[in-house]
Structure 1
Amino acid sequence: MDVYLPIANLSVDGFVIVALGALTGVLSGLFGVGGGFLTTPLLIFYGIPPTVAAASAATQVTGASVSGVLAHTKHDGVDYRMGGVLVAGGLLGAVLGALLFRFFQSVGQIDVVINVLYVLMLGTIGGLMLRESLESIVARRQGQAPVAKRRRHHPLVAALPYRWRFYRSGLYISPLAPLILGTLIGILTMLMGVGGGFMLVPAMLYILGMSGQVVVGTSLYNILFVTIAATMIHALTTQAVDLVLAALLLLGSVLGAQFGTKIAFRLKPDLLRVTLATIVLLVALRMLYGLGIQPDEIYTVAPL
């Protein structure tokens, strides 16, 4: 089914785009990530311009997050107070990210910046997650029960003033910590078209020290509002949001998120982490390969 994308200015197979949306929706429900970290690279591999892919993926992530938040709310898996602080930081980060996006776009380097950010972020996060997961699996196979690490916030977080109680997360920390974290995620959302969950989830666990029971749901809650803001800002400033592309992605992602959430409550956490880490590293390697090869067309002409 050929579908014309007016902003990307090309025709695509609609079923392929819907399938990509379904795949990232499943990841959203499984891991608490918006799925944009995979959507944007796959769209680029498929031939969508990086700027359009990043802006439109943020819209798709919104749909997947709505579905995921509703599913986790049923299991009381969302810390709304923590999520509110993260969202406040995310909105600020979205504005700052928009300014950076326009700057790199004006100097003709936004495509390179998007690809380099993906290689660095995905490579680092994927490597750390894979190492920890494999260590845990090896310990179990050797008959050694892995020592459960006590969730405790980072010493820098403990040093921040004005502490609040986040009851669902089991924390008594300064709201400045999640506010700063949310700001960084908001910047990434604007630049990369991601919800930021692939960074937010580990940061909530190992920096803020949140309870694992509410991490996924709270991550999706933050992603929901930040991606809405990112989509609106992109539509008003960069004009890179392709609504036809976003609609096709949403069609698949909303259904995929519900399916992924059901699987998440049945599979072992170690297996989930290894799977996510492997996917992240494979995408990073493919992006790195794309940066190193000569493109089919060295020069492009774009309207001013």
Structure 2
Amino acid sequence: MINIDFLQVLAGSCTGLLVGLTGVGGGALMTPLLLIVFGVAPLTAVGTDLWFAAITKLFASQVHHKSNLVDWGILRKMWMGSLTMSLVTVGLIRLYPSWTASAGFLNATIAIAIMVTALGLVFQRQLHALGRRFRLNDAEQFKHWQGPLTGMAGGVLGILVSLTSVGAGALGAVFLTYLYPLRLTPPRLVATDIVHAIPLAVLAGFGHLMIGNVNFPLLGTLLLGSIPGAMLGARLATRLPHSVLKFGLATVLLAVGSKLAFAQLH
């Protein structure tokens, strides 16, 4: 007889809905839920969440892809940085397990990543305005650095996501907002950000799978809720106000990140 934890299904459903709507939440929200609510060990939470995010975003991306919203040119530049650094980070996790598997180290790193993610969401509009001003006032210089900075942004995400499973959605969106202020409309930004995270999460997830950090029964239960939630969110993405949703999510993430950080101090 199969026992289904409906609280886990509900957590997956709510997170999936947010992922489909905003591209954010696969790691930033689910990882702390696994740590705080379900009591999962930090490294297992990261490995399980990477597969959760990859599969959830895969279903959400199908809806966005059919709407022709994905910018593949930008994605190729980001993947050059993110996939390379993901391989490096996963390799370090495997070589130095006693250091990277430390609960204190991982919880502190996840807490910092969540709070940085939340701040990125709060100031995303200001960063967009700053990028737009640079793009319009010094177009030649901006375009010269746009490609290399996109690869570097991908590299930062590769390290962060492989280590904590946090950042692919929210920080990816922040980087893209600044670097492509004219090229990406909000729906295209969400779609491109979601698709970027899929191979990154899969690659990092394979690394954690090889180490034994994936809880498959838990993953299956979470996906029961997240897949329909993500598909619904993707269909609603062009109809709901992203700014209000992201501000609310940022508030939640700041609270969660603070709780994790406070727990590390006691």
Give the TM-score of the pair, scaled to structure 2: 0.85
Any conservation in 1 of the 2:17–2:232 contact (CA below 8 Å)?
A: yes
Any conservation in 1 of the 2:160–2:166 contact (CA below 8 Å)?
A: yes
Matches for 1:23-42 after TM superposition, within 5 Å? 23-33=14-24, 35-42=26-33
Q: How many residues align?
A: 261
* Equivalent residue in structure 1 for 2:159, among 187, 210, 216: 187
Aligned to 2:171: 199
Deviation at 1:285, TM superposition (A): 1.7
Aligned to 1:285: 258
Deviation at 1:176, TM superposition (A): 2.2
| Unaligned 5+ runs, structure 2 | none
Query: What amino acid maps onto 1:193 in structure 2?
Result: S
Q: 1:107 is paired with a residue of what secondary structure?
A: helix
Deviation at 1:25, TM superposition (A): 0.7
Aligned to 1:20: 11
- Classify 1:125/1:254 alpha carbon distance in 2 versus 1 (closer, same or farther; 3 Å): same
* Equivalent residue in structure 2 for 1:98, among 72, 90, 93: 90
1:153 and 1:42 mapped to 2: Cα distance?
38
Q: 1:180 is paired with a residue of what secondary structure?
A: helix
Any conservation in 1 of the 2:24–2:169 contact (CA below 8 Å)?
A: yes
Aligned Cα root-mean-square deviation (Å):
3.0
Aligned to 2:234: 261
Deviation at 1:216, TM superposition (A): 0.8
Name the one with the larger helix percent.
2
2:119 and 2:51 mapped to 1: Cα distance?
28
| Unaligned 5+ runs, structure 1 | 4-12, 136-147, 164-172, 294-304
1:81 and 1:131 mapped to 2: Cα distance?
26
Aligned to 2:112: 120
Deviation at 1:118, TM superposition (A): 2.5
Deviation at 1:53, TM superposition (A): 0.6
Any conservation in 2 of the 1:123–1:281 contact (CA below 8 Å)?
A: yes
Say yes or no: does 1:219 pair with 2:193.
yes
Any conservation in 2 of the 1:200–1:219 contact (CA below 8 Å)?
A: yes
Any conservation in 1 of the 2:130–2:178 contact (CA below 8 Å)?
A: no
2:229 and 2:140 mapped to 1: Cα distance?
38
1:153 and 1:208 mapped to 2: Cα distance?
11
Task: Report percent identity of matched pairs.
Answer: 26
Query: What amino acid maps onto 2:191 in structure 1?
Result: G
- Classify 1:195/1:274 alpha carbon distance in 2 versus 1 (closer, same or farther; 3 Å): closer
Query: What amino acid maps onto 2:197 in structure 1?
Result: I
Which protein is bigger by CA-based radius of gyration? 1
1:235 and 1:153 mapped to 2: Cα distance?
42
Give the TM-score of the pair, scaled to structure 1: 0.75
Deviation at 1:60, TM superposition (A): 0.5
- Classify 1:128/1:95 alpha carbon distance in 2 versus 1 (closer, same or farther; 3 Å): closer
2:214 and 2:79 mapped to 1: Cα distance?
22
Query: What amino acid maps onto 1:227 in structure 2?
Result: A
